[in-house]
Structure 1
Amino acid sequence: MAFSLFNRHPEEVLTSAEKEQIVEAIRQAESRTSGEIRVYLESHNKYVDPVDRAAEVFLKLKMANTVDRNAVLLYVAVKDRQLAIFGDEGIYQRTGKQYWNELVTKILSHFNQKHFASGISEYIHQIGEGLHHYFPFDRATDHNELPDDIVFGS
């Protein structure tokens, strides 16, 4: 009997190697930008709209405290199969809604093929490119403002 990806606790969805792959993708993306990227996985979303939950998590993780307001959160409620991308005002104003909708579509195509870790890694790469375009890395002034680890909720 197959063990469904979506029946697992968020920390069990990814293998150790996949977790490291995602963290490394964050590090590589952030090496080219002053922007910050976080990934948050939890089992269930207690709210109707996953974007509202992503906004709450964004604030809880103090992601609005970056100097250029250019942090981005990928939020996934694993068992509810919900996904949201929440970008701070600095990056959202420069990219627009269509940019984010296209990213969500790309990630969902990976998830639908059960390529969970590669979908997240591809998202990180894509958003890193966008951040690099609008917020390039400046060796003299930039530093890592937020941790690169994956955050697991309940």
Structure 2
Amino acid sequence: MRIGRVLRHLFTPSWVLGRTFTPDVMAAIDAAVAASEACHRGEIRFAVEAGLDLPELMRDATARERAVEVFSRLRVWDTEENTGVLIYVQWLDRQVEIVADRGIARRVPQAAWERVCRTMEAAFRDGRFGEGSVEAVRAVGDLLAGPFPARPDNPNELPDRPILL
């Protein structure tokens, strides 16, 4: 456990996300998710978390571990075809993780998700938060469209709205 990380997480208020993930950025992500899901049968959730709580910090939780917890908490797994995908941003550590449900994990390699994460992190380093987020949603949609093309009966099973944790 690094003391700098612990202090940064404990003393940074969650409202700082609102300065970067403004209502306009959140609306753009929402629209990108809706447009993407019209092209495939996957369900995309987008979650941003400012900092971790003390219990996560004490166990030195990685962004991946936290993303899996959020995937479960948001019930991203709860789709008919097991085609839920979580794009998780751990803001203070500047890390992005994508967790795909088992129906997708069999058909889309982890390396493809990793490329999307690293591209998004690079956009964030350049200060392109909204664009990087929307581009990531589109890239996830492109990965889903091949193995899970849309059908005429393509229900929206999970909310499109991004969430600030």
Amino acid aligned to 2:130: A
The aligned runs of 1:125-144 (5 Å cut-off) are 125-140=138-153, 142-144=154-156
Q: 1:86-138 CA distances to partner (integer Å, 9 max, x unpaired)? A: 11111111111211111112111111101011111001001101111111111
2:75 to 45, 53, 62: 62
Alignment partner of 1:32 is 2:32:
no
How many pairs does the alignment contain? 147
Uncovered stretches (5+) of structure 1, i.e. residues with no partner: 1-5
Q: Which residue of 1 aligns with 2:100?
A: 87
> Aligned partners of 1:101, 1:19: CA distance in 2, in Å?
23
**2:157 partner SS:** coil
**1:135 partner SS:** coil
> Aligned partners of 1:14, 1:27: CA distance in 2, in Å?
18
1:13 to 4, 17, 20: 20
Q: Which residue of 1 aligns with 2:90?
A: 77
> Aligned partners of 1:99, 1:152: CA distance in 2, in Å?
25
Compute the displacement of 1:44 (Å): 1.2
Uncovered stretches (5+) of structure 2, i.e. residues with no partner: 1-11
**2:106 partner SS:** helix
> Aligned partners of 1:19, 1:55: CA distance in 2, in Å?
22
**1:95 partner SS:** coil
> Aligned partners of 1:70, 1:9: CA distance in 2, in Å?
32
Q: TM-score, normalised by structure 1?
A: 0.89
1:44 to 40, 48, 51: 51
CA contact (8 A) 2:95 2:121 kept: no
Q: Which residue of 2 aligns with 1:148?
A: 160
Cα-Cα RMSD: 1.6
